[in-house]
Structure 1
Amino acid sequence: MQKIKTALLSYGMSGKIFHAPFLELHPGFELLGSWERSKKLIQEDYPELKSFPSFESILEDKSIDLVVVNTPIDTHFEYAKKVLLAGKHAIVEKAFTSNVAEAQELAVLAKEKGLKLSVFQNRRWDSELKTVKKILDEKLLGEIVEAEFHFDRYNPVLSPKVHKETINSGSGILKDLGPHIIDQALYLFGVPNAVFADIRITRAHSLVDDYLDILLFYSDARVRLKAGFFVREPNPSYVVHGKKGSFLKSRGDVQEDELKVGKKPNLTTWGTEQEGQEGLLHTEIDGKIIREKVPTLQGNYYDYFDGVYQSIVNGKSEPVTAQDGVNVMRIIDAAIQSNEQRKAINL
């Protein structure tokens, strides 16, 4: 099997939790190491890997095929552009860039260079989102009228990560949690006709937005996306209503929590939700009204990395394309404009 030699641009939470375990599991990747600025941590977990002293040392290493840009959002454009100019494929964390113009420039550059560029929207492979997609694919709800997605937390304390709480082009909930549910909405329903958004600051002493309420206008449906830090009793994370029925599902994906405590992913039991987290389907099938729990599909971020492998080695489309990233940034830019003007923005 062809090996894709890969380097990370940081080994903090995302490198340690979301990337390294799956790159290690997949037989088609060879993780060479990570750029580490001050703390040298990667060799504690992977003694055989290299701690690169600088970004330039990664760019100049001819053996590296793929670079994971998992640094603060306001650096994504600069680093990803340099990676592509160095002739290397790239995975870029969400939010893809700081604005849509940057996203479009990267998409064009990757195409010109004949390189693969993918946005790390791993939440498409969460167990609950996969289950929602199955319900929609099987058309169990009839024509969709409305949907509401939540990414809620109860956490009034400011983040200790300075870049997340300092005013910069990548800070705030809209570009932190927002890309998860925006991408999921576009993945399931496509690009809307218009966007309306209410973006606020609710935490004491916060300098950056920490609440969002985005309404996506489709020709025959509306999709609402909400995220905030003052939700002690969570709403269902996914609510979809169609002309035949409804489906409700709480957030139950176990992958992040298991990765945080050091569990290693696998290809059999990984991403299996605990019993009692099943979604509720209340609909009409063949003239019969049913109201029942629906077993949750397994989630596995491995499938994202396998998609990247297939795109590089076999020429398939990336699992999340640069255009997907552009579309998410279009929504984010429109949401900012809508919030400022207090009106819906046509796309």
Structure 2
Amino acid sequence: MNGTIRVGLIGYGFAGSVFHAPVITSVPGLELTKVVERRSAKSKARYPEVEVVHGVEELYADETIDLVVVTTPSTDHYAFVKNALLAGKHVVVEKPFTPTAKEADELIAHAKEKGKVLSVFHNRRFDGDFLTLRELLRQGLLGEVMEAEFRWDGFDPVLRSTNWREGNLPGTGVFYDLGVHLMDQALTLFGLPSSIAGDVRMQREGAEAHDYFDVALLYESGLKVRLKSSKFVREASPRYALYGSNGSFVKHGIDPQEAALIAGAQPSAVRNWGKEPRERWGKINTSVGGLHVEGVIETVAGSYVDYYRNVMAHIQGQAELEVKPEEARLAIQLIELALQSSEEGRAMPVPFAVAAPLV
């Protein structure tokens, strides 16, 4: 398949309208063709060329649709992804992949059986700060990293209303919603831990799903990676902090792509998309070649467009898939182990051979 890839989008809520449609339509070679909106036609206002349909069956039955993108609540991912694969479509699904690793295994099996591409939208691998971390580790600028902390905090101490993410259903709660990003990043940078210890809880009055997590990934080398999120952090902590034998790197703030997309920006229409201002660059304090170096590291420009470029190239047989479904499935299994750890009050061994880092 070397021509245009026609895309059908299931859902035009926050994820579909903010993160997927603008990015898909910024990739030459991808054509957003149909959007499933059950009760509206909001996508027509921004993309008048698309056809709005009110049922997924119309999408599955359309033989001209090559790629289906699922942006529904995670509680529905399994059914939509399965049916799209069985209809002979390539599939991209929003994170988290599925509520359980068992469901993820079944979907991976369906994709292999049908010979179709399946990928999960772990867009935070394409954040500028994460790309910067990966390059710092690749170049060994911090020496042997012994401790790392990834945080996604905010100040929202009163639960005013609930949406599906905060409901009492499988795959909901902040650990699945935000923690899965941090888990995927940690696994990509450092590989599989030997054990995992979790503290996952509901802190806010009236909460139905977990709204706090503090999870440690423990490695045979002595490395400890801490993943944390709290709704009670008014004074921002570093987003990332890495401490190694040569020095440390500390980074505040969140990649600017999200705010730009929420504001309605189109990646293809913005010069220097994903570029971060100097005042938000991370601070490094390390030794290089026997010299003490202290200063800032310019953040690599992030690009969610690169995710979809890669999916397109992989469908066309021109590139290896960057976000493989097996990797997304692994993040779900570690979330399950962390939840078990939290319930039982003990660290859980990770029942896999330790993998090499993917940097």
Scaled to the shorter chain, the TM-score interval is over 0.9
In the alignment, structure 1 segments of 5+ residues that lack a partner are: none
What residue number does 1:211 align with? 212
Are 2:24 and 1:23 aligned?
yes
Are 2:132 and 1:131 aligned?
yes
In the alignment, structure 2 segments of 5+ residues that lack a partner are: 351-359
Q: Deviations over 1:198-253 (max 9, x none)?
A: 00111121111000011001111110000121111111111111111111111231
CA distance in 2, matches of 1:256, 1:162: 20
Contact persistence 2:96–2:180 (CA under 8 A):
yes
Q: Deviations over 1:158-180 (max 9, x none)?
A: 37553122200121111111111
What residue number does 2:179 align with? 178
What residue number does 2:200 align with? 199
What residue number does 2:82 align with? 81
Contact persistence 1:8–1:33 (CA under 8 A):
yes
SS at match of 2:77: helix
What residue number does 1:166 align with? 167
Aligned pair in 2 of structure 1 residues 159, 173: CA closer, same or farther (>3 Å)? farther
SS at match of 2:58: helix
For residue 289 of structure 1, report the CA deviation from its aligned partner: 1.1
Are 2:305 and 1:302 aligned?
yes
Are 2:290 and 1:287 aligned?
yes
What residue number does 2:229 align with? 227
What residue number does 2:319 align with? 316
1:257 pairs with 247, 255, 259, which one?
Answer: 259
Q: Deviations over 1:265-292 (max 9, x none)?
A: 1375000112201111111111111111
CA distance in 2, matches of 1:252, 1:195: 26
For residue 313 of structure 1, report the CA deviation from its aligned partner: 0.6
For residue 157 of structure 1, report the CA deviation from its aligned partner: 4.0
What residue number does 1:107 align with? 108
What residue number does 1:68 align with? 69
CA distance in 1, matches of 2:292, 2:123: 35
CA distance in 2, matches of 1:35, 1:63: 15
What residue number does 1:333 align with? 336
Structure 1 residue ranges (4+ consecutive) displaced by more than 6 angstroms after TM superposition: none
Contact persistence 1:158–1:165 (CA under 8 A):
no
Matches within 5 A, 1:49-60: 49-60=50-61
CA distance in 1, matches of 2:280, 2:163: 35
Contact persistence 1:117–1:318 (CA under 8 A):
no
Are 2:347 and 1:344 aligned?
yes
What residue number does 2:355 align with? none
CA distance in 1, matches of 2:160, 2:179: 17
CA distance in 1, matches of 2:62, 2:177: 31
CA distance in 2, matches of 1:153, 1:248: 18
CA distance in 2, matches of 1:65, 1:193: 40
Contact persistence 1:22–1:302 (CA under 8 A):
yes
Contact persistence 1:249–1:280 (CA under 8 A):
yes
SS at match of 1:251: coil
Q: Deviations over 1:78-108 (max 9, x none)?
A: 1111111111000011110011111111112
CA distance in 2, matches of 1:231, 1:2: 49
Q: What value does the CA root-mean-square deviation take over the aligned residues?
A: 1.3
CA distance in 2, matches of 1:68, 1:158: 31
What residue number does 1:140 align with? 141
Matches within 5 A, 1:261-276: 261-266=263-268, 268-276=271-279
Q: Percent identity?
A: 39
Q: Which amino acid aligns with 2:115?
A: G
CA distance in 2, matches of 1:109, 1:191: 25
Q: TM-score, normalised by structure 2?
A: 0.94
Contact persistence 1:252–1:277 (CA under 8 A):
no
What residue number does 1:247 align with? 249
CA distance in 1, matches of 2:35, 2:236: 37
SS at match of 1:25: coil
What residue number does 2:357 align with? none
Q: Which amino acid aligns with 2:20?
A: H
CA distance in 2, matches of 1:78, 1:315: 29
CA distance in 2, matches of 1:66, 1:182: 27
Q: Deviations over 1:133-175 (max 9, x none)?
A: 1111110011111100001111234375531222001211111
CA distance in 2, matches of 1:33, 1:45: 13
For residue 39 of structure 1, report the CA deviation from its aligned partner: 2.5
Q: Deviations over 1:122-142 (max 9, x none)?
A: 011111111111111110011
What residue number does 1:94 align with? 95
